[in-house]
Structure 1
C-alpha cells in the first residue's frame, strides 16, 4: 500500500532520485542536493506552522510503499506563489487589426508577459516513479491534495493552479524555447529550466521581451506547441480537467505548456469529499476510496476498499495503521 505523508529530512536521497528520474522540464525538482534539502526544510517548517491565511508556505509530500519503505513519488502544494520569487507567465490573447478604408481585417494572437497568478495556490511536483505507475497510485498522488484543500481551506487561496509540462524532447530541446533562445537568451532550455528551479530567476526579468510577442512571428515549430503538454503529462492533465480545471490562456514562459486553474470551491473532489467516522473492520464491498486523516502536521492519505454508509467509513486495519487513525476518529474521503 502507498501512503502519502509529509516529507522529512531522511527522504533527501529518495527525493534526489526522483529529481534525476523526472527528466527535463520538471522545474520544481532540480537535480541539486542543496536546493532539495532547503525545500525539505521549508516544507517541514510549513507543516509545523500555525497559519490562518495562505503565505509563502510550501507543503511537499512523498508516497511511501508501506511494504518496502521505498519512496514511490512526490506531490506538493504551494500555498501562495510569487511572494518570495516572481511567478511569470505568458497570457495568450487575441487582438484585431482592421482598416475600413483598406477593407483589411486581421485577427492575430499575442503573448503577453506578466505576473497575473501572484498569490494563488499551486498544485506542483507531481511525480510517480515508473515501477508504481499502476492501479490507483497516480490518482492517489494527485487527489490526496484535494482532500487537504477541502479539510484545511484556510491555508490556501480561493484560486488553485497547476503548471503542465510543455513539449520538449529527451535531450531537453523545447521548440518554443529554441525560438526565444535565438532572439533573446542565448542559453539552452535545460539551463534556463534549471536556473528557474533553483530560484535564480533574475535573468528572466533582465532578458525576457517586455512587449507582447505576435505569435505569427514565431517559428512554425514554436507556434505548434503553445498550450500543448508533454506526452508524459497528458494523464495528469486529463485528471485535472475531470476535476474542473481549465486553461484560460496562460502558458509557461519556457516551454509554453498550459497552466490550468479552478476555484477551490468548484474542484469536483473538494465538493464531493465526505467526512466520515472510522470503523475498523473488513470492508465487504468493492468501492475504492482515497482517504485521508484530518490532521495537517501529521497528514496521511491512502487508497483501498472502503464501505461507506450513514457517515461511517469501514476501513481495514492496514489502512487505519497507514492513516494513523483509530476507531471513532474522523477521516475525509473521495469515492473513486
Structure 2
C-alpha cells in the first residue's frame, strides 16, 4: 500500500536522494545537507503546532510504500511565503505608448520586479521518483496537499500559488538566465540557484535591475521562454490547471517559468473532497466502483492513501473501507475521514 504522511527525521536519507534526483532548478529542495535537515525539523514543528492563522510554517509530506518502507516521492506546502525572506517575481504586463500628434499607439511588454505574492500559500516540492511515475501516484501526490488544506483551512492563506520550473538547455541552464548573468550577475547559475534554495536572497535586491525591462530588448532566446515550463514539469502544471490554477503573468526571476495561482476555496480538490464517517468492513476483498483518495482528519498524525477497496454507502452515509486501509489511516469505526474521487472526469 502507498501511504502519504508527514516527513520525519528518519526520512533524511530518502529526502537527500530525492534532492539529488530532482537536479538543478528545483530550488525548494537544495543539495545542502544542513538545509534539508532544517526543512525536516521545521516541518515536524509545523505539524505539531496549534495554528490559528498562516505564518512561517512549512509542511513536507512523503509517499511511502508500506511493504518495502521505500520513499517514492515528496510534496509540500509553505503556509505564507515572503514574511521573513523577500519573495520575488517578475510580472509581465503591457505598457501602451501613445502619440496623439503622430496618431500612433504602440503596446510593449515589460517585466517588473515585484513582491506581489507575499503572504500567499505556496504548494511546492512535488517530486515523484522516475520508477514510480505510474498510475495515480503523481496525481494523488499533488491532490493530497489540497485535501490537507481543505481539512485545515485556518493554516493557509486565501490565495494559493505554485512556481513552475522554467525551460533549460541540455546542461540545465535556463536560456533566460544568460542575459541576467551577462548584464547583472557575475556568477554561475548553479551558485545563484543554490543561494535561492538556502534562502540567501539578499543579492537579488542588490544586483537585480530596479526598473521595468522591455521584453523586446531581450535576446530572442530569453524572450521565447518567458512563461514556458520545463518539459519535466509539464505534468505537474497540467494537474494544477485541472485544479483551477491560472497564470496571470508572474514568472521566476532566473528561468522565467510561470507561477500559477488559485483561490483556496475554488481549488477543485478542496471543493470536491468531503468529510464522512468511516465504516470498517470484514471483507478484505472489497472493491468499489471508483479509486478514492482518503485521509484521516489529523494534523501531526496525518495519513492518506488511495484505493478502490472502498465504497460510499449512501444509506448510512458512511465510507466503507477494508481493515487494511483503516489501519494505514489509524482510524476506527465512526471516525471522520475525508475522501476525494480520483477517477478522471469525476464530478
Measure how far apart 1:58 and its partner are: 0.4
Quick check: 1:24–1:170 contact (8 Å CA) kept in 2? Answer: no
Q: Aligned equivalents of 2:294 and 2:84: distance in 1?
A: 33
Superposed, 1:47-196 pairs within 5 Å as 47-196=47-196
Equivalent residue number for residue 345 of structure 2: none
Deviations 1:77-106 (A, max 9, x none): 000000121110111100001212123221
Coordinate RMSD, CA, aligned: 1.0
Measure how far apart 1:285 and its partner are: 2.2
Measure how far apart 1:286 and its partner are: 2.9
SS of match in other structure, 2:255: coil
Deviations 1:31-70 (A, max 9, x none): 1111100111111111111110000000011111111101
Structure 1, gaps ≥5 residues long? none
Q: Aligned equivalents of 2:169 and 2:293: distance in 1?
A: 34
Q: Aligned equivalents of 1:19 and 1:297: distance in 2?
A: 24
Count of residues in Structure 1 that have an aligned counterpart in Structure 2: 336
SS of match in other structure, 1:122: strand
Equivalent residue number for residue 336 of structure 2: 330
Equivalent residue number for residue 322 of structure 2: 316
Measure how far apart 1:257 and its partner are: 0.5
Quick check: 1:159–1:262 contact (8 Å CA) kept in 2? Answer: yes
Matched, 1:300 2:303: yes
Q: Aligned equivalents of 2:254 and 2:222: distance in 1?
A: 11
Deviations 1:103-155 (A, max 9, x none): 32211110110111000100000000011110100011100001111000000
Quick check: 1:16–1:33 contact (8 Å CA) kept in 2? Answer: yes
SS of match in other structure, 2:301: coil
Measure how far apart 1:312 and its partner are: 1.1
Measure how far apart 1:28 and its partner are: 0.3
If the length of structure 1 is used for normalisation, what is the TM-score?
Answer: 0.98
Superposed, 1:192-211 pairs within 5 Å as 192-211=192-211
Q: Aligned equivalents of 2:291 and 2:116: distance in 1?
A: 38
Q: Structure 1 segments of 4 or more deviating over 4 A?
A: none
Quick check: 1:55–1:79 contact (8 Å CA) kept in 2? Answer: yes
Measure how far apart 1:188 and its partner are: 1.9
Q: Aligned equivalents of 1:208 and 1:33: distance in 2?
A: 28
